[in-house]
Structure 1
């Protein structure tokens, strides 16, 4: 259903060729409408990320969309895997997350189960905290991350406990050797030997438990997380394809926009100041939202990629000439290739160029507002030429308005050009990621799993 809505809104490519030039103000209205269309193209990804179903404390803050807040929440979840798990959740919640039952109707055991039971206070539909219908075929992405985190916590606890047992085992082994060296009595030696055997058995049980948990994590990673990430990549591909069409059309519209005398008839006085202030405010929000989105998405992908890299056993000593370990060279599971390519691709996007274009536009709007603020003072000191030639004064107003519109048009053209280029780069990046991920999957199936 989402794909049909998006395809219906996409522009006919022939329209780019037969695009008609319009005056500047009419072009601005078209550009505004296409911004609304571009925002609509992100709904599918927002549903995939359950933007309205996850409780995030700061999601209601002004200027922060729930989708961005969710990406930040994902980053916090993933980063908890890196922080030595300093804080402890209750064992009841941990067990609840781990023991979710796999349903036969979905590949993900978390795809039909909400993250937590909703209380009576949370049943208000307007809050949209939790719903049972998720929009990923591969299951709930946030629930999968929660389950991975829960199993990682359990793995950490098992390793920490086994480390204590191993230290005690080493200490008792040293004690047993000393007793043999001192030729202690048989009862003393037998008692120590029995303790050593018991500790050895505990170590074997701990190793089996760690191995079992590790396999469970790998199963969730390969059978749930990887399909979800691939589905998300495909959704982002469709989103950026629709956005590219919108921003391409916007760029053509602003490039062909022309100035007319009627366009120069802009509002004066307080109305003009309010319009310029609103333009400044909206552009600032746009720039901040773009920066927050880039930072949140980059942090989220780097957190996932960093966690996966920690799963690779690095050699203790590596020569300078030796290349760093590569998921492709090791025939690692496809999720390693996907996250590594995604992380590298985000760093290569022309986000700085777009941010700089927005900053330049804001600077020029500031300057125009300052010039407008100085004009009333100059009007209070009329010259002789102005008193004798009213038409010249009117022409001067038109020239000033035309100059302002031309300055705004030039800066806006640069922004839309960078938006178009950013959309092109994003679309190409996600298409390449999907293609490389499929290639890695085929190679992995043919070559079989190897140690990563």
Structure 2
């Protein structure tokens, strides 16, 4: 019969004396199989220590009790515990960052359309400092007696501007500006010539009243006739320029604006999707456990917080530019269109033929609707949310600064304590050696004399107490900073992405409305 195995669950194995007997029986039974026969292939095994087995068995019993307790817990509680443990702040922030990158990708079409990554030469400035000079190339083909279309270079090839469908938004605006400059110069010259014409006519009338000689009258009449002819020619040239401006407005600028509306509609539709997902992601932070965050602020953590604050401030600045620039651009186009639709009239008695003007061009309805839509967007709410988030991060930075100063103060106190403690131990060792030699001499001294050991020890103990107080203050401040930081993120992140989601939805609806305006005009025969 084989010897009994080591089993600490048996009630007979509760005492150390009883453990010895089965231990010996187990050793003596090694080498026999269950049928009592010899088994030469089995080597003797070193039995486990009873204490170790008892500890492992106790751990297993506790785990079993915990598992049974978790099974009896309510289902909602188990789901809540699982949700808390599954939320990770870094994963949430990484997912938010991924959606920002996708938002940026959705804006590439509009960015390319507006040549946002390129420097543009502004035609109001005469200097050329390496910027793209669209206007200079336009001006070289604009002359007094030749039109823009059909110009060829010395190699008898089409100028690149002849391919109007491949021109950019900025190029069309520069062409319009060049023709408007030409029109301005012609109107200015025409007004000066008109004043000169009126002055000559007034002088001719005076000569007639005074009874001037026929030769003088004929000379003045010839001058008046010459000025009148020049004025007629200038007005015809002006009408030609006006016709070209209107053609550029209707056949080039308006289609570019329609393309921009389509691009913006697609962009904001994509923005809606990603900002909605960001809002859904940050709502997970409600179940974030503060205990899972870092225990204290490190230098790297503090630098990252400062970097985040700078990025959010730049975000606020760029968002403000986006809102302001698109409003200013549409407002500028509306103001220009008002002047463009005002006819240039002559006060001369002679009728000068002018080309008919479209009083309600398609671009007018689009720009009016565009201006109204931009004014209704909730951009102030979004700007305020971003600004508030930047202020919250700034507050976190201040708390982190205080925490790091407390840690630095605590470290200085710890160094001082270690230095003085070591100095006290060295002094006390030497003092004991001297004291043992002087015990007989000091026996007759006053018993009330000050004890140098107590004095020095009191200094070390007070320093130790101060270190403990500072360490406790630093620990409490770490907890406060962590709780305030996580609490602020739980509140502010949903606010900012809710505002962005609302703004993106408003923009998407606005540009879909503008798209419907352009489509209705297209059915009415407007250029596209």
TM-score normalized by structure 2?
Answer: 0.60
User: After alignment, is 218-227 or 371-380 more displaced?
Assistant: 371-380
What is the CA–CA distance in structure 1 between the aligned matches of 2:194 and 2:396, rounded to whole Å? 72
**1:371 counterpart = 2:399:** yes
Give the equivalent residue in structure 2 for 1:30: 95
Q: CA 1:386/1:444 → structure 2, altered by over 3 Å: closer, same or farther?
A: farther
What is the CA–CA distance in structure 2 between the aligned matches of 1:90 and 1:137, rounded to whole Å? 18
| Secondary structure at 2:211 match in 1 | coil
Residue 383 of structure 1 deviates from its aligned partner by: 11
What is the CA–CA distance in structure 2 between the aligned matches of 1:248 and 1:374, rounded to whole Å? 36
Instruction: Indicate if the aligned counterparts of 2:396 and 2:481 stay in contact, CA closer than 8 A.
Output: no
Instruction: Indicate if the aligned counterparts of 2:194 and 2:231 stay in contact, CA closer than 8 A.
Output: yes
Give the equivalent residue in structure 2 for 1:325: none
**1:42 counterpart = 2:107:** yes
**1:302 counterpart = 2:331:** yes
Runs (5+) with no aligned partner, structure 1: 1-18, 57-72, 81-88, 104-109, 115-133, 315-329, 446-452
Give the equivalent residue in structure 2 for 1:288: 317
Matches within 5 A, 1:52-451: 52=117, 54-56=118-120, 94-96=139-141, 101=149, 112-113=160-161, 139-257=167-285, 258-260=287-289, 263-265=292-294, 268-313=297-342, 332-376=360-404, 378=406, 397-398=478-479, 400-440=481-521, 442=523
Residue 212 of structure 1 deviates from its aligned partner by: 1.1
Residue 93 of structure 1 deviates from its aligned partner by: 6.2
What is the CA–CA distance in structure 1 between the aligned matches of 2:142 and 2:465, rounded to whole Å? 83
Q: CA 1:383/1:172 → structure 2, altered by over 3 Å: closer, same or farther?
A: farther
User: After alignment, is 330-339 or 190-199 more displaced?
Assistant: 330-339
What is the CA–CA distance in structure 1 between the aligned matches of 2:250 and 2:405, rounded to whole Å? 69
Instruction: Indicate if the aligned counterparts of 1:111 and 1:138 stay in contact, CA closer than 8 A.
Output: no
Residue 28 of structure 1 deviates from its aligned partner by: 1.3
Residue 439 of structure 1 deviates from its aligned partner by: 3.1
Residues 157-189 of structure 1: CA deviation (Å, up to 9, x unaligned): 111111111111111111111111112221111
Instruction: Indicate if the aligned counterparts of 1:305 and 1:339 stay in contact, CA closer than 8 A.
Output: yes
What is the CA–CA distance in structure 2 between the aligned matches of 1:92 and 1:139, rounded to whole Å? 13
What is the CA–CA distance in structure 1 between the aligned matches of 2:150 and 2:316, rounded to whole Å? 43
Q: CA 1:234/1:161 → structure 2, altered by over 3 Å: closer, same or farther?
A: same
Instruction: Indicate if the aligned counterparts of 1:158 and 1:210 stay in contact, CA closer than 8 A.
Output: yes
TM-score normalized by structure 1?
Answer: 0.70
What is the CA–CA distance in structure 2 between the aligned matches of 1:111 and 1:50, rounded to whole Å? 21
Q: CA 1:262/1:197 → structure 2, altered by over 3 Å: closer, same or farther?
A: same
What is the CA–CA distance in structure 2 between the aligned matches of 1:335 and 1:300, rounded to whole Å? 14
User: After alignment, is 178-187 or 246-255 more displaced?
Assistant: 178-187
| Secondary structure at 1:96 match in 2 | coil
Larger Rg: 2
Residues 400-452 of structure 1: CA deviation (Å, up to 9, x unaligned): 4233112123112111111111111111111111212333455576xxxxxxx
Greater helix content? 2
Give the equivalent residue in structure 1 for 2:424: none
Instruction: Indicate if the aligned counterparts of 2:138 and 2:178 stay in contact, CA closer than 8 A.
Output: no
